Chains A and B, each alone.
Chain A
Amino acid sequence: MADWPLIADVQAFEAVGTSGSTGTTVTANASANTLGSFTQLIASTAFAAHGIIISLHPTTNADFLVDISVGAASSEQPLVQQLLCSRASAPNAVSYYFPLHIPSGSRLASRCQCSTGGGTVIVSVSLLSHGLMSPSGPTLFHVNLADVNDSGGLSVDPGAVANTKGAYVSQGELADSASWLGIGIGNQANTARTLCTWLIDIAVGAGGSETVIVPNLFVVAGTNGAPHGIPTGFPCSISEPGATVSVRAACSITDATDRLIDVTLYGVR
């Protein structure tokens, strides 16, 4: 299957959960770090999709983990899980793309949890037929490094020397092999940051023998804004299902709290 069809008018897009100039509001459970109820995005999709763009816009100052699921009400099955998005004080949005199969006629719904409880995130989705890296067989999404205890990700400390890569941080093995990687960046519920930038490495290998596979992904944060800017999805082959994966970063500042950043990884096999 071609990544981009040579014949015009083959690719189709469908907007899901949008109206006017916004998406669908999804509300977290009133208790912090607890999933809320599902909110329907669409009752029935128009065609068999091979890719999904998920845009998330938190409207509460908090960290969020967001699920997109497929299936009838009360029988939702996870499509993508624990997508990380954050808001400090300033508005923020993040968009993820995953090359995933979604059958025609699917009902899509979303739910979320947040670090404060009761927060809201606006979710909008675009479905693609014949998307980038259209999968030719069954697809499997897996999430890594997300932390449901604080609705964040793996905390990465660039260290006390500015503009110098800090230590690798790992939580162990990637959940499965991957041909596509997605990366989430979180704010650690920091409501007042220092303007700064990061360069982030993704590596594989056991502690002390890491090898960088994706170097220097750029992230920025404003004075009152959550970190953002990282490319959230790209082709990346990790063929070992049990590869130990780690993250490290360099930061332009040394403030002991403001230099910290949360990272999540998502894979599609």
Chain B
Amino acid sequence: MAWYAVYETATGALVSVGPSVASPLPVGLTAAALASEPTPAEMWDAASRLLIARPAKVLVDRLTDLVADADFRAAWDTLSDANKQRVRTALIRFLGPYRYRSQSSGVTLDG
């Protein structure tokens, strides 16, 4: 099955992606054939009028967020290495599946 990207001719802004194209196309739109159905790993680039690789997702360890917090850091720096490890182990246990956040997300557990 052929796939098409329909975009605004002037700006390259993507309007539609799929296996069917209106005939005739409305004025101001261009249809470009794609090699295959796009995957979530691809995204449209208006400048080049092509599919490009989507940036990889970046995860942030909330333990890093904690150590970067001024109040937490002030207490953390008073701990011995052994107690730092105990606190770290406990935090990992308590955070569970919420240990990592999206890079775009805020540092608080607001979900």
Contacts and interface: CB of A to CB of B under 8 A. Distances in A.
A141 interface: no
B105 A170 contact: no
A167 B110 contact: no
Interface residues of B, number: 40
Interface string A162-192: 0000111111100000000000000010111
Interface residues of A, number: 38
Contacts of B37: 171
Contacts, number: 124
Contacts of A260: 40
Contact of B22 (A188, A195, A205): A205
A249 to B, nearest CB: 13
A59 interface: no
A170 B2 CA distance: 12
A206 B40 CA distance: 22
Given A167-B14, A168-B15, A192-B105, A157 B43 contact: yes
Given A61-B97, A256-B55, A258-B104, A172 B111 contact: no
Interface of A: 61, 89-90, 155, 157, 159, 166-172, 188, 190-195, 205-210, 222-225, 244, 246, 253, 255-258, 260
Closest 7 CB pairs of A and B: A222-B111, A170-B18, A223-B111, A209-B22, A89-B97, A255-B104, A207-B16
